[in-house]
A and B are shown apart, each in its own frame.
Chain A
């Protein structure tokens, strides 16, 4: 199987972006704060190299490896997102219980909906195995997007604060999951096929990695002191208070 120049360029660009991301994670010593995400990204980068070799060596090996890695990565993505959610809830004891209830009941609803979606819209591929793989992937992407939506909906609704690094990681996963869900959905309806599907899907991943780089390069880490807590180390306010007291 031959790859077009556009696909080769996107593949190379994604590899480059992912290398930049891994370098950024280690340079900012984020592996201490988010070890699972750091090692997960490093592992996927190494797997990309293995996949590139297997593609030119044997398409069958590449095909099987691609779908196994796809399934494992969706499960890992969901685990990272659930970890961020639970860590955020831990910081607010008052809403921990309601937060857990929302998450687990939401996940149950997502799983049932994913099964229904898989059964009712199997897609248009002529090959039965491919049809199953695409439908299953779309359902898993649906669950992943749902987990992202639950996380951001609860954070937005209660106006609680995600740690900057967590916000960066979850934001990137959100973009990747949403674009992937859109591309798999358009593929199953026959709108996106063949190379167009691959380009759309891989570009979405590239945008997600770019979002990770942008968000994580500016995110404050836990080890950095807070910029200016209210009333603390605020020279301007301190001077104003003094002036007010003198005026009295």
Chain B
């Protein structure tokens, strides 16, 4: 049994090594590539989905069984948004890393700020995903509260501002276009 377990661990470790060596993050070596890789996230829709008053309303007006089913559907939708936020953060992290190589000190500082915010966004997205998966198993009214407590949207908005600042320094003509992609 131990041998089997160790062989599985070996295969998992090799899989991890090869996936990182192959580079599973999208290549973003220009702002046009960043623009192509980003997928727009409807923050208003996500905000509505996790609105506490909506959850309360559903809880009061639906039978418990229907409520749980509706909450599960809302949680799946919320998870899709969180995954997209996280994916966009990883693209901006890579873009920030590339821009960090610039010789301009101001650009360098903005790029570092973008990297910081992208990492924070990914960590918050991970935490919220774990909570949402728990919510899928035991649906409650807490979904909205959990999403609000997480501050994911705040961080995402800050990251967006930082990106706009960085693009305006490097490629001003693309600023509005890229900010719309988020």
Contacts and interface: CB of A to CB of B under 8 A. Distances in A.
Contact of A153 (B16, B95, B172, B173): B16
Contacts of B122: 158-159
Contact of B119 (A95, A156, A179, A186): A95
A174 B17 contact: yes
Nearest to B112: A93
A230 B98 contact: yes
A173 to B, nearest CB: 9
A145 interface: yes
B30 interface: yes
A162 B20 contact: yes
A149 B173 contact: no
A241 B173 contact: yes
Interface in B76-115: 90, 93-95, 97-103, 115
A95 B19 CA distance: 22
B137 interface: no
B21 A117 contact: no
A135 to B, nearest CB: 10
Nearest to A147: B13
B10 A145 contact: yes
Nearest to B119: A94
Interface in A177-234: 177-179, 181-182, 185-186, 188-189, 191, 215, 225-232, 234
Chain A interface size, as a band, is 35 or more
A54 to B, nearest CB: 31
Contact of A181 (B10, B95, B126, B170): B10
Contacts of B59: none
Contacts of B97: 161
A58 to B, nearest CB: 33
Interface stretch (B1-9, B42-50, B65-73, B146-154): B1-9
Contacts of A174: 13-14, 16-17
B6 A185 contact: yes
B12 interface: yes
Interface residues of B, number: 46
Among A117, A149, A167, A244, residue most surrounded by chain B Cβ atoms (within 10 Å): A149
Nearest to A244: B173
B32 interface: yes
A198 B126 CA distance: 43
A155 interface: yes
A244 B174 CA distance: 10
B77 to A, nearest CB: 24
A182 B6 contact: yes
B171 A231 contact: yes
Nearest to B120: A94
Contact of B14 (A121, A167, A175, A230): A175
A142 interface: yes
Nearest to A162: B20
Interface in B9-54: 9-14, 16-17, 19-21, 24-25, 28-32, 34
A5 interface: no
Contact of B2 (A92, A145, A185, A227): A185
A182 B9 CA distance: 9
B21 A215 contact: yes
A3 interface: no
Contacts of B102: 229, 231-232
B161 interface: no
A152 interface: yes
Interface string A232-244: 1010110011001
A167 B13 contact: no
12 contacts: A92-B116, A156-B24, A159-B90, A159-B94, A159-B122, A181-B6, A229-B99, A229-B102, A232-B103, A237-B31, A240-B32, A241-B174
Interface of B: 2-3, 6-7, 9-14, 16-17, 19-21, 24-25, 28-32, 34, 90, 93-95, 97-103, 115-116, 119-120, 122-123, 126, 170-174
